Amino acid sequence: MSKGWQAAAAAFQFLSRFPVKANLDYTPALFQQSTRFYPLVGAAIGLCIGIIAAGTTYVLPAAPAAVLVLIVWVILTGGLHLDGWMDTADGLLSYRSRERMLEIMKDSRVGAMGVIACVLLLMLKGTLIYSLLSSSRNGVLPTLLLILPPIWSRWFMIHAMAGYPMARGKEGLAGANFNGISKKHTVRAFRMAAVLTLVITVLMPFLGIHDSSWLQSVVAWLGLPILAWLSGTWAARQMSNKLGGLTGDTYGALNEGIETVLLLFIVVLTQWM
C-alpha cells in the first residue's frame, strides 16, 4: 500500500467508523500525513447522512427523519468529536484554574456540564436538520448541502493544530502525534476541501437544481469556508487563552461547534434565498 493510501486509510480509521481494513503502523508521521484527507472523511460522512436524509424524507415526516439522520451522523463518527465537546464543556465551564481544567478534561467520566452541553448541541443539530428537510423546495438540495459542514469543520481542526500551541505539550494523543502540524498541512487540506466543495457545486445543475437553488450553492461555496474560519478562530482563541493552548478534546469540540454553525448558516440560506 502506497503512502498516500496509508494516509487516507489512517484518516478514515481515526475519524470514522467506516469499515476500512488496513493494518497500519500509526506513527506521528502517518498521523500528520493523514490530515490532508480529513475533509474527504467529512465528505464521506456528509454523503452518507445526505443519502439517509433523502431516503427517509420519502417515507417519514421530517421530524423522525431528522432524528434518524442525527443518529447516523453520531454513529459514523463513533461519537469521537462529541466526546471532545463534552470533555471541553466540563473543563471550561468549571471556571477553575488552567491546570484543574486540563485535569477535568482528561477524566474519562462525564460531568453535569458535559451532559448539558451534549443535550443542547444535539437538540440544536436535530432541529436544524429538521428545518432543512422540511422547508427545502428541492429534495436534492438538502442532500448535497448536508455534505458541506463536515468537510469544512474537519479542515478547521487541522488549521487549529497548526495555528495554536498544544496545551499539554507533547503529552496525550494530540501532542504526541500532531505536534509537527504546520501551515503546509492546512493548505493541503484546504485544497482538498475546496475541490470537494467545487465538485458538489458543479453537480447542482446536472441534478436539476437551477436558478435560486444554484445561487444558494454558490453562496454556500463562498460562505462556508469563511464562516468556518471566523467561528473556529473565535472559539479556538477563547479556548487557547483559557487553557494555554488546545488539546485533542478541544479539536473535537471545534468540529462539533463549527458543524452546527455551518448547519445554521445553511438553514438561513435556504429560508431566505
pLDDT in tens, 222-231: 788 999 999 9
pLDDT in tens, 186-216: 999 999 999 998 887 777 666 555 544 556 6
Whole-angstrom CA distances from 186 to 104, 154, 203 are 30, 11, 26
pLDDT at site 143: 65
pLDDT in tens, 114-162: 999 999 999 999 999 998 888 754 455 666 778 899 999 999 999 999 9
The answer to whether residue 116 sits within a structural domain is yes
Q: Which three cell numbers stand for residue 24?
A: 497500519
The answer to whether residue 25 sits within a structural domain is no
Percent of residues in the chain assigned helix, strand, coil, to nearest 5? 80, 0, 20
What's the total number of domains in the chain? 1
The answer to whether residue 19 sits within a structural domain is no
- pTM confidence score: 0.91
Rounded to whole angstroms, the Cα distance separating 43 from 18 reads 13
What is the number of other CB atoms lying within 10 angstroms of the CB of residue 30?
18
Give exposure, 133-172, as e/b (b: 16+ Cβ within 10 Å): beebebebbbbbbbbbbbbbbbbbbbbbbbbbebbbeeeb
The answer to whether residue 30 sits within a structural domain is no
Average pLDDT on 94-120 reads 91
Average pLDDT on 155-177 reads 84
Q: Is residue 175's pLDDT more than 90? A: no
Lowest mean pLDDT: which of 127-131, 137-141, 166-170, 252-256? 137-141
What is the number of other CB atoms lying within 10 angstroms of the CB of residue 97?
10
pLDDT at site 235: 96
Reported in sequence order, the residue ranges of the chain that DSSP labels E, i.e. its strands, are none
Task: Assign 166 to helix, strand or coil.
Answer: strand
The answer to whether residue 28 sits within a structural domain is no
pLDDT in tens, 37-66: 999 999 999 999 988 988 888 888 989 999
The answer to whether residue 53 sits within a structural domain is yes
Q: Show the domain range for 77.
A: 36-272
The single-letter DSSP state of residue 198 is H
